[in-house]
Copies of this chain bind each other. A is one copy, B any other.
Amino acid sequence: MSDGTASNREPANTREAIMYATYDALHEHGYAGLSISRIADEGDLSKSTFYHHFDDKEDLLLSFADFTIAQFGRGFEVESTGDPVEDLYAFLNFALGTHPIARDRPDSVERMGVWIELRSQAIHDPAFAEKFTETTEKYVENLTDIIAAGIEQGVFEDVEAEKTARFLLTTVDGAILELTTRTDDTRPVVWEKMDEYIRTHIVRDELDVDEYAFDDNFESADDAA
């Protein structure tokens, strides 16, 4: 059982209860060890309840991917402050799980593990590959919009907005893969270099970005890991 996630949630209906139980079973046993029985155990649900809502395990897991993507996506829905520099830093720190709001969640790293676990199903399952392509494209669009707004307002250099967004998000993807599959947290160094890239390549020289840079953003993340 995952203590971190159980605390903040109260399922609205049986379907949602199944989603939470799937999360717990996946976190506990991994994808390879996942079974309807184990999910039922986690959620104190009967197996017949599952088959009332889902055709089979594949059907359940595709729905669970949607559920996870929607939950994860909330972290990327940064309401624009009107300041592209602030938006850029907020977006990337949400993505890396180092934003002050994200790091207050003790299950931040655990949720990224479930994300990678689901995403790796795309290696063999085209339905998952399509889902994750569509989802990650949406993140690219969101970040492209922030960068384009900065260029428009004259606070960013005239960079290629979409390509720059893709480069940054690929680095974020790598950081999440490393965070969930290594024994240490590589994000402090990655963030330091990414911050340097933002200051030298994206933000105009004369701007001071220190107030947005979350210099202390890894202290709490380390505690949570």
Q: Give me the interface of A with B, judged by CB distance under 8 Å.
A: 29-34, 113, 116-117, 119-126, 128-130, 132-133, 136, 163-164, 166-167, 169-175, 177-178, 180-184, 186, 189-190, 192-194, 197, 200-201
Instruction: Tell me the interface secondary structure of chain A in the complex.
Output: helix
The answer to whether residues A129 and B193 also contact, given A170-B174, A171-B170, A174-B174 and a CB cut-off of 8 A, is: no
> What would be 8 A-B contacts, judged by CB atoms less than 8 Å apart?
A31-B32, A113-B123, A126-B183, A129-B183, A163-B193, A173-B174, A173-B178, A177-B177
Residues A183 and B30 in contact in the complex (CB < 8 Å), given A170-B174, A193-B166: no
Number of copies: 2
Q: Which residues of chain B are near A197, meaning CB under 8 Å?
A: 197, 201
Taking the nearest CB of chain B, how far is it from the CB of A139, in angstroms?
11
Of B32, B122, B180, which one neighbours A181 at CB under 8 angstroms? B122
Residues from chain B with Cβ under 8 Å of A178 in the complex: 136, 170, 173
Asked whether B164 lies within 8 Å of A130 as measured between CB atoms, the reply is no
Partner of A166, one of B133, B172, B180, B190: B190
Q: Beyond A122-B181, A181-B129, is A193–B164 a contact (Cβ under 8 Å)?
A: yes
CB neighbours of A30 from chain B (8 A): 121, 123-125
CB nearest neighbor in B for A129: B183
- A167 and B194 form a contact (CB under 8 A): yes
- Min CB distance A184 to B, Å, is 7
Whether A133 pairs with B193 at a CB distance below 8 angstroms is no
Name the distance in Å between A162's Cβ and chain B's nearest Cβ.
Answer: 8
